[in-house]
Amino acid sequence: MSTASTPKAPAYRTIFRDGLWDNNVAMGQMLGLCPLLAVTTSATNGLGMGMATLAVLMLTNTLVSLIRGIVTPQVRIPVFIVLIASVVTLVDMAINAWMHELYKVLGLFIALIVTNCAIFGRVEAFASKQPVLPAMADALAMGIGFTWVLVAIGAMREVLGSGTLFAHASLLLGDHFTWLEVTVIPDFSGILLSILPPGAFMALGFLIAIKRLIDRGIKARQERAALAGLVTQ
């Protein structure tokens, strides 16, 4: 936990591979499921939550990496919690004051980030042991990894539940992004279950199952390749 045991920072390639797929926050580490299940009723909501989480994660990972030299293992947990809670509150106030339109859409999510143990997870598992640059790269990778899962689950639930995709995206991203708002199935009243909380569990379950299937496929191919290599020798 302290600098005495600083392991060698992993390669940036590995950091991004871990964040986006192998050790993805939601599908690999299974962290941050509370905000994930709560807000993904639409792809836009997922994107908003993902971006807010990404911003907070970048800040906390950087700060913790900077102070990692003076924090002792015994008090690290309260120190990190104070830091994360303060950063989230500051971000909340800043967005409310200077980006109020965005706050109306994101406001609910920002407070929810405090409940996201993925933030603490990354701080504890990575930033408290690594230099600033790899810590920032890890935050970026994990944040993007979390965002794409949120958007994917949001999109699945939105298409099934209301027949649209990225509805109200222009409220979040500005008027330039009106083209994102698509009606996939016109005049569709939607499958209610998909919008309700059980729909979130199902969508996440399907996504994890698909990830496992793909991982198994890759592994099998690698084994076959290794075997073929042995035979030719």
Contacts with other proteins by CB under 8 A lie at 2-4, 41, 69-72, 74-75, 78-79, 82-83, 86, 89-90, 93-94, 96-98, 100, 103-104, 161-162, 189-190, 192, 195-196
| Residue 135 C-beta: closest distance to other proteins, Å | 18
Nearer to other proteins, 26 or 84 (CB): 84
Nearer to other proteins, 15 or 113 (CB): 113
| Residue 191 C-beta: closest distance to other proteins, Å | 9
Q: Write the CB contacts of 154 (distance below 8 Å, at least 6 apart in sequence).
A: 39, 40, 41, 42, 43, 44, 45, 46, 47
Alpha helices, H only, 7-162: 12-17, 33-39, 43-67, 76-98, 100-112, 117-122, 132-162
Query: And the tokens for 168?
Result: 């109200």
| Residue 189 C-beta: closest distance to other proteins, Å | 7
Nearer to other proteins, 21 or 103 (CB): 103
> Which CA distances in Å does 26 have to 13, 39, 93, 212, 213?
20, 14, 27, 13, 16
| Residue 79 C-beta: closest distance to other proteins, Å | 5
Nearer to other proteins, 19 or 161 (CB): 161
Nearer to other proteins, 70 or 230 (CB): 70
| Residue 223 C-beta: closest distance to other proteins, Å | 42
Nearest of 16, 69, 84, 44 to residue 164 by alpha carbon = 44
Report how far residue 138's alpha carbon sits from residue 145's, in angstroms, rounded to the nearest whole number.
Answer: 10
Nearer to other proteins, 41 or 65 (CB): 41
| Residue 200 C-beta: closest distance to other proteins, Å | 13
Element (H, E) at 164: strand 164-165
Find the length of the chain: 233
Nearest of 134, 150, 138 to residue 17 by alpha carbon = 138
